[in-house]
Amino acid sequence: MADNNSGFLDSAYGDTPWEDLTTNQRTVYVPELLEVFRTTSLFYGLVTYGVNLTAERTGKMVFTQVLDPEPNIAELSTRQIWLPQLYMDSQQLEISCAYYGDKVMLHKYDPLITYWTRTGQAGLREIISSRLAPHMVGSLDLLARNAFLQKTTVMFAGGASDFGTLEADDLFDLSIVRAVHLGADYQPDPVQNPIIGLSSPASVYTIRDDDDGEFIERAKYAEPRRLLNYEVGEYEGVRFAQHPSVTLWNCGEIIAQTTIKASIALGNGAPDPGTTKVEGVWQVGQPGATHSITVASTAGYVAGDYVTLHVHREGDASTWDTALSSTLKTTTGVLFTDPSMIVREIYAVVDATHLSFTEPITVDYFQTDLGSTVYGYVTKGRPVHACVFMKGPRGVVSGVIQPPQTYNPAPIDDVEAIYRFAWDARLKYQQMYPRRFEVYFHAGPVRRLGAVINL
């Protein structure tokens, strides 16, 4: 998807945050990070990264574009010696980069640490490839997803106009594919740029269910080496890639919502591994943990529900609330940009005020009293499914002033048992050409304990 009419001042640009970096620079383990990024990022090859290491001091990057003059078909007089002036101008996009990062921790008796201490660099590369890099790629993909989904003008299935009015029967409408084609035909280079649909699994399920066999499996039209990550097939010339991250769990109309009434310590919330096996197989979590969380009421929840535990919600005037368009949320609902939320499957409704989950709570978001003994919220809402139709390059770009890099500081606890492996980056995903992509929200089927349901 070439685009020769825009550029990055003093920058290298390409498909990854490490463009033009060599392995002898500060980021030693770029190959390990890059391999995981190339093979697992939903947006690999679909977001252009501008890397400008000289901008680190200002924290900003500038993208520039020349505005071409209008065509002129006016006739000139026979003896005219001065030609009309063609006025040229420019526009620019400034990105203020933000700071991101996190770490994973392993105990000295963990097999990965044992392997590392025995093999040195080979073991460290294994830790980065299997633990740190996947976490980093998942985080970057969510940032890219959020940049795409926050387009000013979006489309909704059925008669919906926002997340709150999306009904269960507002499913993916196959005619949207032809509508997107029509829009793409009015954009530059409509032939060479394929249309790509990054979709929820519910989108593809609905297409396969309603298309009368017109959905073409990927193996029938593409060489394996040329596939997009997560590409599953083609429908009417749109190549679809599906990924769970574009399912916005519980962000639609609220079905049930309750408050978290006690602090949740790390590791709490899963059933007792000494007495209960999740799915009849897994002993999840630790015996000494608390095996449920305390809520105001469990009314409206059942085993198998996917719920969101969150700190912020619509109407709380938080940064996440005020920055999100009113069409992309519902009253007191989940904010899909909220970094303080997690999704869990309910294992059991223990009693009127306690829930347990198939996995423990592994974040410390729900340990601060927000007021009136409320530590957060548990919301069951209609899932909002998204499909991002990409019609050309640089719909969203990322300015990078410090590419992702890794650290492994020495243990500092009393017995030097906890090893930390961290990553950080200074970058920002930003819309650049919003007309080159469209966002379509719809309802759709999900699975609950083996059944297909439409909430």
Residues 199-234 have pLDDT tens digits of 999 999 998 888 776 788 766 766 655 678 999 988
- The winner for highest mean pLDDT among 71-80, 100-109, 202-211 is 100-109
Count of all residues that appear for the chain in the document? 455
Q: Which residues pair with 239 in a beta bridge?
A: 196, 234
d(CA 452, CA 455): 10
- Per DSSP (E only), the strands in 266-374 are 293-294, 306-310, 341-351, 354-357
Mean pLDDT of 322-339: 97
User: Over 50: is that where the pLDDT of 1 sits?
Assistant: no
Q: Which pLDDT belongs to residue 189?
A: 58
In this prediction, residue 192 has a pLDDT band, given cuts at 50, 70 and 90, of: low
Q: Which pLDDT belongs to residue 425?
A: 94
Q: Which pLDDT belongs to residue 28?
A: 60
User: Over 60: is that where the pLDDT of 25 sits?
Assistant: no
Q: What is the residue-averaged pLDDT of the chain? A: 89
Mean pLDDT of 35-50: 92
In this prediction, residue 2 has a pLDDT band, given cuts at 50, 70 and 90, of: very low
User: What token pair was written down for 156?
Assistant: 């909704």
First to last CA, the chain: 38
User: In the chain, helix, strand, coil percent, each to 5?
Assistant: 20, 30, 50
Q: Which pLDDT belongs to residue 7?
A: 43
Alpha-carbon distances, residue 337 vs 80, 94, 95, 410 (angstroms) = 60, 22, 19, 33
- Cα three-residue angle 286-139-430, rounded to 5 degrees: 160
383 half-sphere exposure, CB direction, 13 A CA radius: 25
pTM over 0.85? The answer is yes
Q: Which pLDDT belongs to residue 9?
A: 44
Q: Which pLDDT belongs to residue 249?
A: 98
Q: Considering only 31-45, 67-81, 385-399, 436-450, which range has the smallest mean pLDDT?
A: 67-81
Mean pLDDT of 139-166: 96
Q: Which residues pair with 195 in a beta bridge?
A: 238
Q: Which pLDDT belongs to residue 75?
A: 86
In this prediction, residue 186 has a pLDDT band, given cuts at 50, 70 and 90, of: confident
> Hey, where are the domains in the chain?
250-382
Q: What is the tally of helices (H) and strands (E) in the chain?
A: 7, 24
pLDDT tens digits, one per residue of 410-423: 998 889 899 999 99
Higher-pLDDT residue of 407 and 214 is 407
Mean pLDDT of 283-298: 96
User: Over 70: is that where the pLDDT of 23 sits?
Assistant: no
- Residue 112 phi, psi dihedral angles, 5° rounding: -65, -35
List the one residue out of 420, 396, 384 whose CA is nearest residue 140.
Answer: 396
Mean pLDDT of 11-25: 68
User: What token pair was written down for 180?
Assistant: 């997107």
pLDDT tens digits, one per residue of 266-282: 999 999 999 999 999 99
User: What token pair was written down for 117?
Assistant: 């201490």
Mean pLDDT of 20-37: 70
What percent of the chain has a predicted confidence (pLDDT) above 70?
91
d(CA 168, CA 364): 33
Higher-pLDDT residue of 215 and 427 is 427
| Torsion of the alpha carbons at 367, 369, 370 and 372, rounded to the nearest 10 | 150
- Cα three-residue angle 138-139-140, rounded to 5 degrees: 95
> Is residue 269 within 8 Å of 356, Cβ to Cβ?
yes
Mean pLDDT of 287-308: 97
3-class secondary structure, 164: helix
What percent of the chain has a predicted confidence (pLDDT) above 90?
65
Mean pLDDT of 94-115: 91
User: What token pair was written down for 345?
Assistant: 């499957």
3-class secondary structure, 32: helix
> Is residue 309 within 8 Å of 345, Cβ to Cβ?
no
> Is residue 341 within 8 Å of 329, Cβ to Cβ?
no
Q: Which pLDDT belongs to residue 24?
A: 43
User: Over 50: is that where the pLDDT of 6 sits?
Assistant: no
